[in-house]
């Protein structure tokens, strides 16, 4: 990708121009190491533009942050920038590119043999990309590593949610029920995690829509309310449609139609300020976080 030359780059070019005659006289010039401030600035700019839904500009900032990370051979900068770049691509409706970027970032991190770097967020965004590519079996496999922490944290709980969605898509209902049981137990230990509560209610709605559509509608409504209160409007649109399907299945045709209209209006309003809206956004809060600022899971998972 072609990039403009910013102030920092102009400074480097100027130093290179000054260095030429010195080299001829036996002098040496050391290129300035990219500062952490430059990396942080690109990450912050990427986060800010992502919040505005300007995915292409956010991609540019995270690409530069990734370049700076590789230049300084800093595993944390490489991993965090590559992760955020993958999330941007996924939210922009480019799951294949997001998957490739996350996989390359994972390789780069493992290449540096740093066991302190948590690669589970990368596994999580890979799972999200695989889901969008309808490779559900691989989603189930990929989420095992991300969900393997005990006691479970928000990353592990989100991984369980994605696994549950994939299990539903391939009609592995026993796995879906097992996932609900695990997520329910983990969520009880994190009473302040509204994202996990919303995820759990959505899976419960999916599991019960065939046998108990009235109850499924209640679960979906709970999830929609939680997502709305957490400003997760894309997730809210998704579960409003699920609630509509449940209402339709229970014979509430008028209410089902009203719910679908609500979802359409919210989606249209979202699209007015964003480059694209994806059918299923599985990254949740991950999309606006700068993981280097706080490597806690709540920073990795909401919009």
User: What does the pLDDT look like over 66-111, one tens digit per residue?
Assistant: 999 999 999 999 999 999 999 999 999 999 999 999 999 999 999 9
pLDDT at 25: 36
User: What does the pLDDT look like over 120-175, one tens digit per residue?
Assistant: 999 999 999 999 999 999 999 999 878 878 778 999 999 999 999 999 999 999 99
Check if the beta carbon of residue 129 is closer than 8 Å to that of residue 96.
yes
Is a pLDDT exceeding 80 seen at residue 242? yes
Tokens of 251: 């014979």
Check if the beta carbon of residue 184 is closer than 8 Å to that of residue 200.
yes
What pTM does this model have? Answer: 0.79
Q: Which domains does the chain have, with CATH numbers?
A: 36-117 (1.25.40.10)
Residue 232 to residue 263: CA distance in whole angstroms? 13
Q: How far apart are the first and last CA of the chain?
A: 27
pLDDT at 144: 86
Is a pLDDT exceeding 70 seen at residue 290? no
User: What does the pLDDT look like over 197-225, one tens digit per residue?
Assistant: 999 999 999 999 999 999 999 999 999 99
Residue 225 to residue 238: CA distance in whole angstroms? 12
């Amino acid at each position: 990708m072609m990039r403009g030359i910013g102030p920092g780059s102009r400074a480097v070019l100027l130093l290179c121009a000054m260095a030429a005659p010195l080299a001829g006289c036996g002098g040496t010039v050391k290129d300035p190491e990219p500062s952490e401030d430059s990396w942080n600035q690109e990450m912050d700019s990427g986060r800010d533009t992502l919040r505005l839904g300007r995915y292409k500009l956010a991609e540019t900032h995270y690409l530069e942050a990734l370049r700076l990370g590789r230049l300084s051979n800093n595993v944390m900068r490489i991993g965090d920038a590559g992760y955020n770049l993958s999330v941007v691509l996924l939210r922009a409706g480019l799951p294949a590119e997001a998957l490739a970027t996350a996989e390359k970032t994972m390789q780069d991190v493992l290449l540096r043999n740093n066991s302190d770097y948590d690669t589970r967020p990368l596994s999580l965004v890979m799972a999200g990309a695989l889901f969008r590519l309808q490779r559900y079996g691989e989603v189930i496999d990929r989420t095992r590593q991300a969900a393997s922490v005990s006691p479970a944290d928000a990353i592990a709980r989100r991984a369980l949610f994605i696994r549950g969605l994939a299990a539903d898509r391939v009609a592995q209902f026993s796995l879906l029920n097992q996932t609900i049981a695990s997520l329910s137990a983990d969520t009880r230990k994190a009473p302040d995690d509204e994202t996990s509560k919303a995820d759990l209610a959505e899976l419960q709605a999916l599991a019960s829509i065939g046998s108990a559509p009235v109850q499924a509608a209640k679960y979906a409504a709970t999830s929609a309310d939680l997502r709305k209160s957490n400003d997760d409007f894309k997730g809210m649109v998704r579960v409003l449609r699920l609630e509509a399907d449940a209402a339709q299945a229970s014979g509430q045709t008028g209410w089902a139609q009203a719910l679908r209209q609500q979802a359409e209006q919210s989606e249209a309003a979202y699209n007015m300020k964003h480059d694209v809206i994806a059918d299923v956004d599985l990254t949740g809060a991950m999309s606006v976080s700068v993981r280097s600022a706080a490597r806690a899971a709540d920073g990795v998972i909401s919009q």
